[in-house]
């Protein structure tokens, strides 16, 4: 849906293509082997349920196919034949081209981050932490979830993605809090107050990110600054997450080391406070234009 809105494609056809990628039939093909035959073409079997890159590439390609179909199909029969012809073209393209390419790109990204983490653990959190706003905005952070799950099962902790989410989640609390206090616009104040609660208590950042930061643009700069500061701090002090979960007030136990030591927990609290303060101050100083809420 998000990709369809971004690339301006037909939403229902885009959702249908996404549904095909996660259909049980397609997932079941992964149990048959690495490749299956489709019209004489070797098709790589991939489980697309845990990655977003393939569907983004697919909808991007569909945006051009849809324009081509609009030119070919006469307007008198466009209502019926445009969706049909679009699917006839896009399903093979998706299964044979954009899907496998997107899967490879996701795997390369995971391998790159794994290599960085093996060589220099501090560098991985620095890279991910600095890029986390972009990753969340594009949905690319979901491509790293399988890597994080692997880290939990092998080394017992994550020092990349969820550590970076300290900056992402709590920066949105700081941004919303600053907007709530500084604005004279009652609509923004009401929105910011609810967004601040969801960001801080539950780690749900989408209302703040899309409703405030992206909409007014300048708070997004404050978000980025806070995320970079958090990444640097967590890299220096090797902050880790020991359980699966988005950082928030209610999920603070994810920072508790199973060996009983409290050092990591204390550093995580400092990182949270630092992120909130930096995002609040940056939002306040940079300012924002709340006229869009009139």
43 phi and psi angles, rounded to 5 deg: -105, 125
SS3 36: strand
What percentage of the chain reaches a pLDDT higher than 90? 38
Indicate the pLDDT class of residue 78, thresholds 50, 70 and 90.
confident
Indicate the pLDDT class of residue 50, thresholds 50, 70 and 90.
low
Residues 268, 250: Cα–Cα separation, whole Å:
14
SS3 43: strand
Residue 10: other Cβ atoms inside 10 A: 18
pLDDT at position 37: 64
pLDDT at position 286: 94
Task: Classify the C-alpha dihedral 105-107-112-116 as positive or negative.
Answer: positive
Indicate the pLDDT class of residue 228, thresholds 50, 70 and 90.
very high
Q: Residue 41: is its pLDDT beyond 70?
A: no
Domain spans, the chain: 2-114, 120-293
């Amino acid at each position: 849906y998000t990709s369809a809105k971004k690339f301006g494609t037909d939403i229902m056809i885009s959702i249908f293509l996404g549904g095909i990628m996660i259909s049980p039939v397609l997932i079941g093909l992964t149990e048959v082997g690495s490749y299956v035959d489709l019209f004489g073409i070797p098709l790589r079997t991939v489980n697309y349920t845990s990655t977003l890159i393939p569907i983004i590439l697919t909808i991007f390609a569909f945006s051009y196919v849809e324009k081509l179909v609009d030119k070919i199909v006469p307007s008198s029969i466009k209502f019926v034949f445009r969706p049909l012809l679009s699917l006839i073209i896009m399903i093979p393209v998706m299964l044979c081209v954009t899907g496998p390419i997107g899967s490879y790109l996701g795997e390369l990204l995971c391998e790159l981050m794994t290599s960085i983490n093996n060589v220099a653990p501090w560098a991985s959190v620095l890279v991910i932490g600095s890029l986390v706003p972009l990753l969340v905005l594009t949905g690319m952070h979901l491509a790293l979830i399988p890597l994080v799950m692997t880290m939990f099962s092998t080394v017992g902790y994550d020092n990349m993605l969820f550590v970076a989410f300290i900056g992402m989640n709590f920066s949105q609390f700081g941004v919303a809090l600053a907007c709530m206090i500084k604005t004279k616009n009652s609509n923004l104040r009401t929105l910011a107050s609810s967004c601040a609660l969801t960001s801080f208590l539950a780690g749900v950042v989408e209302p703040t990110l899309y409703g405030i930061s992206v909409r007014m643009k300048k708070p997004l700069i404050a978000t980025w600054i806070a995320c970079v500061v958090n990444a640097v701090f967590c890299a220096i002090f090797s902050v880790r997450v020991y359980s699966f979960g988005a950082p928030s007030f209610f999920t603070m136990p994810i920072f508790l080391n199973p060996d009983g030591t409290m050092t990591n927990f204390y550093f995580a609290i400092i990182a949270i406070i630092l992120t909130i303060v930096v995002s609040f101050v940056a939002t306040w100083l940079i300012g924002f234009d709340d006229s869009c809420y009139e």
